[in-house]
Amino acid sequence: MAILPILCYPDPRLHTVAKPVAQVDERIRTLVQNMFATMYDANGVGLAATQVDVHERVVVADVSEERNQPFVLINPELLWASEEKQLGEEGCLSVPGIYDGVERSVAVKIKALDENGQERIIEAEGFKAICIQHEMDHLLGKVFVEYLSPLKRNRIKTKLVKQQKQVAKA
Ligand code: GNR
Ligand code: NI
């Protein structure tokens, strides 16, 4: 298993639209294993392939307290999203150190393949629903800061660019 490098906002590759997975094979299962290793190593609750510069529709997640309920979403499709919205504090492994409120549907129903190519229907609410919506956005090239005001987004951009220059010098 490998820990993969995570792209950092404002890296333009984060805005790539991922392609559907044509076949759930060993290559995809290896990617899934490496994504879980990367997500758990970074203490994230989810990770989209886009964040590790692989532009295919693959998401891994685990929103459990005990970090023992992993799930995989391959080619996820939104079947239903509640009209009712909730405001939640979000963070992102690709936007380190930044947290802000985002409005999302309280509940969602999605269809996806698991790591064996089996079709699954997943109904989620609360934090799990937020996480799934956040990850599905990544596959469309969307990062949560795009829901914030242009002023906030520009401040975040400047801060992260500075931070990354510091890291590069160190
Ligand atoms: O680890 C993560 N925490 C989180 C908190 C609130 C809303 C969404 C998330 S997802 C994030 C991991 C990540 O960046 N996934 O793309
Ligand atoms: Ni994210």
pLDDT value at residue 75:
99
Ligand 1 mean position, distance from CA 27 (Å):
25
Share of the chain above pLDDT 90, in %: 98
Q: What is the DSSP letter of 133?
A: H
- Alpha-carbon distance of 111 to 76, in angstroms, equals 6
Mean model confidence pLDDT for the chain: 98
Cβ 94 vs Cβ 2: under 8 Å: no
64, 92, 100, 137: residue to mutate for ligand 1 pocket, most atoms within 8 A of CB: 92
Longest dimension (CA), the chain: 47
The SS3 call for residue 132 is helix
Residue 170 has pLDDT above 90, yes or no: no
CB-hemisphere CA count at 13 Å for 156? 24
Cβ 39 vs Cβ 78: under 8 Å: no
**Using a 6 Å cutoff on CB, does residue 92 contact ligand 1?**
yes
Let me know how long the chain is: 170
The 10s digit of each residue's pLDDT in 71-103 is 999 999 999 999 999 999 999 999 999 999 999
**Using a 6 Å cutoff on CB, does residue 76 contact ligand 1?**
no
Residue 53 has pLDDT above 90, yes or no: yes
Which whole number is the average pLDDT over 14-29?
98
Nearest-ligand number for the alpha carbon of 146 = 2
Q: What is the DSSP letter of 67?
A: S
Local confidence band at 4 (pLDDT 50, 70, 90 cut-offs): very high
Q: Which atom of ligand 1 is nearest to the CA of 102?
A: 7
The 10s digit of each residue's pLDDT in 134-157 is 999 999 999 999 999 999 999 999
pLDDT value at residue 36:
98
Which whole number is the average pLDDT over 3-21?
98
The SS3 call for residue 96 is coil
Q: What is the pTM of this model?
A: 0.98
Which whole number is the average pLDDT over 35-62?
98
Cβ 98 vs Cβ 156: under 8 Å: yes
Q: Of 56, 90, 115, 135, which residue is the catalytic one? A: 135
**Using a 6 Å cutoff on CB, does residue 44 contact ligand 1?**
yes
- Alpha-carbon distance of 75 to 96, in angstroms, equals 26
**Using a 6 Å cutoff on CB, does residue 46 contact ligand 1?**
yes
The 10s digit of each residue's pLDDT in 95-122 is 999 999 999 999 999 999 999 999 999 9
Residue 3 has pLDDT above 90, yes or no: yes
Question: E-strand spans in 3-63?
Answer: 46-48, 58-61
Cβ 56 vs Cβ 18: under 8 Å: yes
pLDDT value at residue 96:
97
